């Protein structure tokens, strides 16, 4: 998530953020993995029901390019078209200056989103 969130920086998670509202595009969220203390910090770029693809590093939502001023370095990734279910979000980090194979991103069920990250 660099440069937005620096590695090792102290972060807090607002676990109440999504009790009354749904996560939105651009939100930086904590995502639960297998254990209770293992979390990913990622940005939401795709919302439930949307169709998303990445072509030569450019993200497209329902065929329209997504403006991402927070991305500084962009590797020419290609991700085939995917349609998110009513419970899925698409998450990705801001640091995209590496191969896609070296980066964790993709679909995540709403039940795995722990809350909004507060810096």
Segment 48-69, tens digit of pLDDT = 999 999 998 899 999 999 999 9
- Cα 117 to its chain centre, rounded Å, is 12
State the pLDDT confidence band at 3, using cuts at 50, 70 and 90: low
Residue 89 has pLDDT above 90, yes or no: yes
Q: Is the peptide bond before 3 cis (omega within 30 degrees of 0)?
A: yes
pLDDT digits 0-9 by tens, 31-44? 988 766 778 889 99
In this prediction, residue 6 has a pLDDT band, given cuts at 50, 70 and 90, of low
Residue-level pLDDT at 7: 63
Tokens 């998530």 — which residue? 1
Greatest distance between any 2 Cα atoms in the chain = 37
What number is the average pLDDT over the span 72-95?
A: 90
What does the domain layout of the chain look like in residue ranges? Answer: 12-118
Range 7-33 average pLDDT: 85
Give me the CATH topology for the region 12-118: Umud Fragment, subunit A (2.10.109)
**3 state DSSP class of 34:** coil
Averaged pLDDT, 71-87: 90
């Amino acid at each position: 998530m660099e440069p937005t969130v620096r590695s090792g920086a102290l972060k807090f998670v607002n676990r109440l953020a999504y009790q009354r509202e749904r996560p939105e595009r651009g939100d930086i969220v904590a995502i639960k993995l297998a254990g209770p203390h293992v979390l990913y910090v990622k940005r939401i770029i795709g919302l439930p029901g949307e169709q998303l693809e990445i072509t030569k590093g450019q993200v497209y939502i329902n065929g329209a390019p997504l403006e991402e001023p927070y991305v500084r370095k962009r590797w020419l990734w290609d991700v085939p078209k995917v349609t998110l279910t009513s419970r899925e979000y698409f998450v990705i980090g801001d640091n995209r200056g590496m191969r896609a194979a070296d980066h964790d991103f993709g679909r995540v069920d709403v039940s795995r989103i722990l809350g909004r990250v507060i810096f």
